Amino acid sequence: MERVITFAVLGDSAASGVGDADSNGVTRGWAYYLTQSFQDPIVYANLSRPGAKSLEVLEVQLPSALLYKPDIAAVIVGGNDALRNGFSPSKLHQNLQLTISKLRSLGTHVILLQLHDPTKIVPLPGLLARVLRRRINAVNRVTQSLAREFGADVLQTRRINNIYDRKVWHVDRMHPSKFGHQLLAKHFRDILLLKDWNIAPIQVEPVKEISKVQSVKWMLRNGTPWFLKRSVDLFPAAILLMLAELLRPLVKRGESDLTNLYFADFQPQSTSDLQEVYEERVS
């Protein structure tokens, strides 16, 4: 009997493929390209959602994933946890530990993703960049710890050659471009090949350059309105994060590094209203 593989994807926008939509607005992403390259019949269940945090992955996405009894599961989450006021690495660790343990109990091969350093591609004030970098690094430490605990595989994003090149990133500078998603798929394939999964090479398509004039037009038509809409939420949050950084030395030395100061939470705007750039790179 021919083997049928089940591949489940849990997580946030990094898992759902934001940054890579076709001309009809259909999002694809690295998991799509990876799935297309499997040489055996495969059931692909992408249960991720842009904006999801680790608790949603545990309580909402995981129960659906378990119904598929996946052979392979990608768990890509943590960035949104880190961007929230009151971010707690210990809570992130707990949520992901429960998620991964339940998948591993089924014999599922779990793959994880190291988050890139966003401060290398998004210009930020020094203090805010320091806060964001520390939080993202905390997410990565949690990921690495759980990978060791459960024998999961981690794609070491920061070790990919030229990972911070502009062509790898969507114009929003937060998500991979189509080229970036194909690059991630290629490296995930390399990991899975070591575990004897039968996967054909990933086709990484050349990047189509657009002119400076087209770039400016795109930003004025799509990027600027989207940015202004999000600023209503992001600017107050950024101020609170920087305030937390300034107050950090006042916190008792004995307090665990796995906790952070809490402020009233904020609700970010969805990224869904940002139109995608299809097969183009904004210079």
The total domain count for the chain is 1
Structure tokens at 258: 């796995």
Task: Answer whether 138's CB lies under 8 Å from 93's CB.
Answer: no
Task: Answer whether 255's CB lies under 8 Å from 89's CB.
Answer: no
In this structure, is residue 191 part of a structural domain?
yes
In this structure, is residue 278 part of a structural domain?
no
Q: Which of 281, 273, 280 is nearest to 50 (CA)?
A: 273
pTM of the model: 0.80
Find the domain containing 225 and state its range.
5-273
In this structure, is residue 279 part of a structural domain?
no
In this structure, is residue 282 part of a structural domain?
no
In this structure, is residue 146 part of a structural domain?
yes
In this structure, is residue 281 part of a structural domain?
no
Digit-by-digit pLDDT tens for the chain (283 residues) are: 578 999 999 999 999 999 898 778 888 999 999 999 999 999 999 999 999 999 999 999 999 999 999 999 999 999 999 988 778 999 999 999 999 999 999 999 999 999 999 889 877 777 778 888 889 999 999 999 999 999 999 999 999 999 999 889 887 778 899 999 999 999 999 999 999 999 999 988 887 765 666 656 655 666 555 555 544 455 666 666 667 666 666 655 544 444 443 333 333 334 433 333 333 333 2
In this structure, is residue 74 part of a structural domain?
yes
CATH code of 185's domain: 3.40.50.1110
